[in-house]
Every structure is written in C-alpha cells, then in structure tokens.
Structure 1
Amino acid sequence: MYLRAFKKQLLSGPVEARTNGPEYSGFFARWDALASVRRKPRREFEAEGTRLFFPPELYPVVLHPIVAARGEGVVAGLLLQRLYDYLDFTTELENLAVIPIATKIGRGRSGMRLPEQMRADAHKIVTDEAWHAQFSDDFVRQIVTVTGCPRLGTEVPAAPVFVARLDALRQRLSPGLRGVEALLFAIVSETLISGILSDIPRDDRLPSAVRELVRDHAEDEGRHHVYFRSVLQHLWRALTPSERRDVGPLVPGAIHAFLEPDYDRVAYHLGGVGLSSDEIDQVISESWPTHEVRQSISRDASQLTRYFTELGALNDARTRDLFEEAGLVGIAHNSETAYLPKEVTA
C-alpha cells in the first residue's frame, strides 16, 4: 500500500511521453526575505471591544431580517462562528488539497516534465502552506480562550464541503485520469484564493490581529497564484488532446467546489440559534439567490477563466458549453491583483 502510494503520480503514464511545458521563471528567489513563515510574528488575538469578527457582507445570512431580528448578540455569535469556519477551512484546504499536491510536484511525482527549479520551489510552498494551516489552527484556539466562545459542531467534525464535491468530480473521470482532479483543484484554489483574501485586511471594523493574519496569508498566496498559473500551463501542455477534452469539462465544477458557499454548514449554525427548517431554507435562499451566486463566482473566477481561455481549453465545444452553463463566460470583470507581490506584478 505504502509503496504504491509513494510511486503514484498525479498524471499516470510515462513522464517521458509528456510534452514539455514553457520555461519557468522562479518566483521564490526572495522567499527567505518575504515568506510570512520567515519574517512575520505569531499573530496574537486580543479582545478589542469589537463584536464584528467577520465582514457581514461576506456572510449575508446575518443581514437577513429573520436573523437580524434575533438581536445583535446572535449576529455577533454567527460572525464569530463564520470566522472559526473560515480558519478551519484554511487549515483543511492546506492539509488536504494543496500540501499533498505540492509535495508530489517537489518529489517529481506529478507525472509532468517540470523544470528542477519548479520542483524545488514546490517545497517552499509546502512550508508556506503548513504555516498557514498552523497559524489558522493556533488563532482559533486563541480566540476561543480570549472570548470564551467555543467552536460549534466540532464534536464530530464534518469534512469540508470541497471534499465531497471533489469526489463527485473524480467519478466523472476515467480510471486512468483519476488523480488529475486533485491537481486541477489545487490550481483552482491557489489561483483564486489571493483575490478572495484581498478585502478582509482592509476592513477596519475587524480586530487588528484578524486583519494582520489574513494579510500574511494573502501576501504568500500572491506568489502561489503565479506559481500555480505556471503549473496550469505545464499541465495543459502535458495532457494529450483526448485528455484535455476529458479534463476541460471538470474545470467549472472545480471552481464551484471551491467558491460555492457551504450551505449545510450555514444551516447548522442557523439551526443553532433557533431558526426552524423553513426559516433556514428561506434565509439561505434569499441571502444567496442562485443568479447572484453565479455572478459572484463568475466575477471571482474571471482571471482563472481567462487563463483557460488563453490555453485554448474553451476551444473544445463541450468545455465551452459547461463554462457557459456555469455562467463563467460572457461577463467582463476587473481582475484582482492587489496582493500579487511586486516582483510578480512588475
């Protein structure tokens, strides 16, 4: 079992048969001077008299009249639980979805013909992501101690929603291609997360330590974004035309797996403050109307959609049809590059 796991590649088949990717320009030459694990302190949470732990605009259920009518204390408690969920999601994402892929790349088991420097830089990403997982977990523990408010729903921890969504994507692949969905999801999550993190550090309503922690994460992820864009370019060249036709249609699902809200988790918290099943359904459906969710996902994924377009992925009719059905094409958006590092955006 362990030998098989050791040898397993993300892309099956002989690596020598795969097409080389483009030249790689290392993005981590100044990693020792820039990485948060090297230069940033442990962020320490302190009570600052605030009752706003997470931007309510990013958790619209708390703005719904049914929830707001329960009082400021309920709203504050829900936002605190949302912060806990966000931090737990970060820890799980890094440990389950990114570190294993970066490790495979670093150890030469991606199934692609990657430059040596690209493989070496993958180890720096592993270190970054392990630190992100650690400081997120540590920060949750600090908040619980300072506020006296525990995380809810941890008695039998549920798997993050992206796990089930990835399992569903995996089932759509032929056995010979299974494993590529994990690589694809790492690319999706690492190229989307820097934009998602960009607003929180600017929100002066939040505790300073929360903003600093997210800023540390965002700055690292800016470098990861550019690295995984390069991974995508190598992946697409490595795939055969037939494989591209199989993998391309998975991309919208991978994007939704990462960006679509975890409605079950939200329902759990709403039930915890006393809402009935009918009220929960109403609050969720009215807080996240389907058309608004589609537009939000399209906006947040617009830069990644452009990357796939530039690679020619949408030239395949089935792939383009599924991008259109998901609402990912046909809408113009401004790209978010606020947290791409200077040496990357220059």
Structure 2
Amino acid sequence: MYLEAFQQQLLPGDAASRSSRLDYNSRFERWDDLAGVRRKPRRSFEADGTKGLALFFPPELYPVALHPLVTAKGTTAVRRLLLQRLYDYLAFTTELESVAVIPVAIKISAGQSGLLLPEHMRADAFKIVTDEAWHAQFSNDFARQIAGETGYAPQGPIRTPPAFVPRLDELGDRLPPQIKGVESLLFAIVSETLISGILSDIPRDRRLPRSVCEIVRDHAEDEGRHHVYFRSLLRHLWPALTPRERRAIGPILPSVVYAFLEPDYEQAVTHLTAVGLTASEIEQVIAETWPPGTVRAAVAEAASPLVRYLAEAGVLDDARTQEEFESSGLLDSGPTSHTVADGAPLLHIPREFS
C-alpha cells in the first residue's frame, strides 16, 4: 500500500511524453517575509464582549440561521447556529487542507504531478504545503479555544468527512481507469482558485469577534498567493492533456465545482435538529433556503472567476464540455443578489443581525 501511494502520480502516464511549457511567474519570492506561518502570531479567541455580539459568523453565508422557523426559536438559537457554522468553517479548513490540498501539493513538489513543471514551480508547491499545514493547525487550535471559552463544543462526531469527500469519490468512479486520480488535481485547482474570494469579506465584518476576523484574514492573505499558483497550474495542465483526456475530464468539471461550493445539507440537518426543529420543519427550512435555482445562481456567481480561467485555458472549446457547463448553470453568472461560501446564498437579514 505504501509503495503504491509513494509511486502514484496525480495524472497517470508518462510526464515526458506530454507537452510542457516553461513560463511561470512565482508569487513566492518573498515567502519568508509574507507567509502567515513565518510572521503571524498565534491567534487567541477573545471571549471578552462575545456575549454582547450578535454574530459568530456572517448569516449571509449560512442563511438557514435566519429562516423564520429558526428565528422563532429566539436569538440564542440563531447565535448557536452561527457558532456551529464557525466550527464548521474551521473544521472544513482543516480537512480541506489536510485531505485535498496538501497531498496534491506534496506530489507536485516531488515531481509526481504527471506534468513537466518548471523546477521553481515545484519548489513553490512545498511552500504551499507548509502554508496549508499552518492553516489546518491554527484552525484546529482556534476551534479548541472557542469550545473552552464558550462552553459549547462542536456538534456531532469528533471528525466527520466534509461533503466534498464523498462527492469526489463519486466523481472518481466516473473517470476512465487510465486517468483515475486526476480528480484530486482538479479539485485542488477549483478550491484554491475559489477560496480566496469566499474569504475576502469576512475580515471586514465588524459584527464578528475581532479574533475571528484576524484568523480569516491570515488565511485569506496566504490563499491569494495560492490562487495565482493554481491558476498557473491550470494553464500547464490543460495543454498537456491528450484530446481524449480532455474530452473525458472537461464534462466532469462542473461536478467538481459543485463538490466544493454546494451546501452541506446533511450538516445543516444536524445543526437544525440541535436547536429543536422537527424533521418536517428542517425539510422546509432547507427547501426554502436552498431551492435548486437559488443554489445554481449562487454557485455560478461564486465560480465565475474560475469559469473564466477555464475558458482562457481552452477547456470550453469542447462542445460536450460547454454543454455540461451550460446545463449546470455555470455559464449563467450575471450579477445576482446571492453570496456563496460553501454554496450558501443570501437571505433577508433582520435588523437585529445586520
């Protein structure tokens, strides 16, 4: 098992037989001066004044908390849900980095991407490994601090797989055996080019504890560099694929996007149950908060930068791939009133929480 894992490439096949490009502009020249792991302090959750704050997490990014059936339970229930959403965000960060990004970046740094990449691009991948390990560690540490200060621990089992994990397993089963495994590379590109946009507004939200804003800002600053790196990786990947591989991979890319951005409905069920909603009420809350059309519009808006990068790389040149993007709604990304983080669209916000 270990030898197989050691030898496995992200993209199967002989890398030397693939076309390659040498251009790469690094954003990591000043990594020692700029990386959060090098210069940011350990963030301490600040309990002082927290009881007077309305929010632990922006309700725009978790709108089930503002459904009338939830608000009828009182402000304590709403705040408890938003605290759980903060825990979810921290756990998601830890799992995303450790399960989805670090293994890919390690393979790239070791020359096992299946692509012929410039040497300094491989070296930068190891810096990303270090960044992401720091993000996973400080997220886990911060969650432990919150539990200790508030007395409210995260709900559910100690460790549950985030929704993207089974979704990626399903995608892997749809790929031809000769390129199975490339979904991990695709998901890293998708998540790393979209996460910085999701994080951008949270540090400026004055409704949140200052320490929450600080830890998200630390994450976002590093992810800005990762965004540029993985956008560049996409430009190296697509020309290196054979026409047959492109035809196989292109049509599943919308599902990769949804694996990252679509709400985690099962997680919401767990939290809504904990605040006292019945099964029928939970079904109503989820159906009215996340109707399919709203989710499609919100995912399309959040994914629009990535869709543009894919088009620039030539991904949408294939007719079937473009058809899949159209049918999934990802090409309908005009301005909307929705905001996405893990697929969460915006609802009307009562004055008390604005």
Aligned to 1:337: none
- RMSD over aligned CA atoms reads 1.1
1 CA distance for matches of 2:215 and 2:111? 32
CA shift digits 1:222-258 (9 cap, x unpaired): 0000000011111101111110111111110000000
Deviates more, 1:99-108 or 1:237-246: 237-246
1 CA distance for matches of 2:217 and 2:3? 40
Residue type at the aligned position of 1:24: Y
What displacement does 1:333 show? Answer: 5.1
- 2:24 is the counterpart of 1:24: yes
Flag the 1:183–1:302 CA change in 2: closer, same or farther, 3 A: same
Structure 1, unaligned runs of 5 or more: 335-346
Counterparts of residues 39-188 of structure 1 (less than 5 Å): 39-47=39-47, 48-49=49-50, 50-155=53-158, 157-188=159-190
Percentage of matched positions with identical amino acids: 62
Residue type at the aligned position of 1:36: G
Aligned to 2:212: 210
Aligned to 2:38: 38
CA shift digits 1:100-130 (9 cap, x unpaired): 0000000000010000000000000000000
Aligned to 1:242: 244
Aligned to 1:229: 231
8 Å CA contact retained: 2:14, 2:114: yes
What displacement does 1:290 show? Answer: 1.4
Any runs of at least 4 consecutive aligned residues in structure 1 with deviations exceeding 4 A, and if so which?
A: none
Residue type at the aligned position of 1:162: F
Secondary structure at 1:301's aligned position in 2? helix
8 Å CA contact retained: 1:22, 1:233: no
What displacement does 1:22 show? Answer: 4.7
Structure 2, unaligned runs of 5 or more: 337-354
1 CA distance for matches of 2:329 and 2:74? 36
2 CA distance for matches of 1:2 and 1:141? 32
Aligned to 1:344: none
8 Å CA contact retained: 2:81, 2:271: yes
Deviates more, 1:2-11 or 1:131-140: 2-11
Residue type at the aligned position of 1:5: A
8 Å CA contact retained: 1:21, 1:235: no
What displacement does 1:146 show? Answer: 0.6
8 Å CA contact retained: 2:234, 2:313: no
